[in-house]
């Protein structure tokens, strides 16, 4: 079943701007992950944040997690045309091997 | 290094025909294996997962089945395809789900 929901569904920004997308989920989680999917390709793992972490950075990516609000955000700073893709959050519910994915946010970076 | 192979990349099959999609993993042992399906412009739906040889869990009752005949081989099958089986099928592996999934490049299946 789909647990995460991303917001917005689509985002269009100018190169160099920041892109922020949000994810809300319903049940308690072990960790939350963000993935990127280029058109027609498989998903690529970007970053994982555990339930006891509040913020994590990886290069131009910043992820926050608020377990009290059951929400997470992904910030891409100084966006590039190559960041054009769909971004998905996925939740690993506690003591479960399975990831539940949201419907994704489609990001378009204009040159 | 760990890699995942998924084939074929695209497939066009008539309604009622059988299906076999294969996924193999290299460079790791006893991975958790997953089959997901993605409808156009949508998120991923978990179809099957396996934590070991011969151990298959089905998430959604459907026209599909999965098998794991070897530790690093995961096969998605159907005896008779339906139009509704069209979609983008993704295989993935993980270790205990704690380090993120690694996805294959996907198979675009069109049932006509």
How many helices (H) does chain B have, and how many strands (E)?
0, 11
Q: What is the CA radius of gyration of chain A?
A: 13
DSSP A111: -
For A81, the token pair is: 């045309």
Amino acid A32: pLDDT: 93
- Residues 6+ away with beta carbon under 8 Å from A59: none
Amino acid B62: pLDDT: 79
Name which residue leads in pLDDT, A5 or B82: B82
Amino acid A94: pLDDT: 61
B87: left (phi over 0), alpha (psi -120 to 50) or beta: left
A and B: number of Cβ contacts within 8 A: 62
Test B103 with A40 for CB contact under 8 angstroms.
no
| Of the candidate ranges A19-33, A60-74, A86-100, B57-71, the one whose mean pLDDT is the lowest | A86-100
CA distance A111 to chain B (A): 23
Sheet containing strand A61-66, strands side by side: A5-7, A19-24, A71-76, A61-66, A55-58
Name which residue leads in pLDDT, A94 or B12: B12
For A35, the token pair is: 């993935």
Amino acid B48: pLDDT: 94
Backbone angles phi, psi at A13, to 5 degrees: -135, 165
For A50, the token pair is: 């555990």
- Regions of chain B with pLDDT less than 70: 61, 96-98
Nearest CA in chain B to A36: B103
Backbone angles phi, psi at A96, to 5 degrees: -135, 140
- Residues 6+ away with beta carbon under 8 Å from A95: A30
- Which chain A residues in 18-77 lie under 8 Å from chain B, judged by CB atoms? 30-31, 33, 35, 40-45, 48
Amino acid A9: pLDDT: 93
Q: How far apart are CA A84 and CA A87, in angstroms?
A: 9
For A53, the token pair is: 């972490």
């Amino acid at each position: 079943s789909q647990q995460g929901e991303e917001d917005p569904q689509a985002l269009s920004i100018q190169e160099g701007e920041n892109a922020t997308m949000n994810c809300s989920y319903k049940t308690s989680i072990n960790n939350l992950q963000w993935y990127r999917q280029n058109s027609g390709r498989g998903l690529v793992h970007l970053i994982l944040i555990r339930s006891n972490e509040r913020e994590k950075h990886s290069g131009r990516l910043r992820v926050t997690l608020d377990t009290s609000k059951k929400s997470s955000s992904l910030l891409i700073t100084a966006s590039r045309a190559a960041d054009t893709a769909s971004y998905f959050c996925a939740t690993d519910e506690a003591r479960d091997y399975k990831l539940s994915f949201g419907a994704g946010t489609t990001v378009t970076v204009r040159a | 290094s760990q890699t995942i192979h998924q084939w074929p990349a695209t497939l066009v099959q008539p309604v009622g025909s059988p299906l076999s999609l294969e996924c193999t993993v290299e460079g790791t042992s006893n991975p958790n294996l997953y089959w997901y399906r993605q409808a156009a412009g949508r998120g991923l739906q978990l179809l099957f997962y396996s934590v070991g040889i011969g151990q298959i869990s089905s998430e959604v009752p459907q026209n599909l089945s999965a098998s794991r005949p070897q530790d690093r081989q995961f096969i998605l099958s159907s005896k008779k395809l339906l139009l509704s089986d069209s979609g983008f099928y993704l295989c993935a592996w993980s270790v205990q789900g704690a380090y993120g999934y690694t996805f294959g490049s996907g198979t675009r299946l069109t049932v006509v």
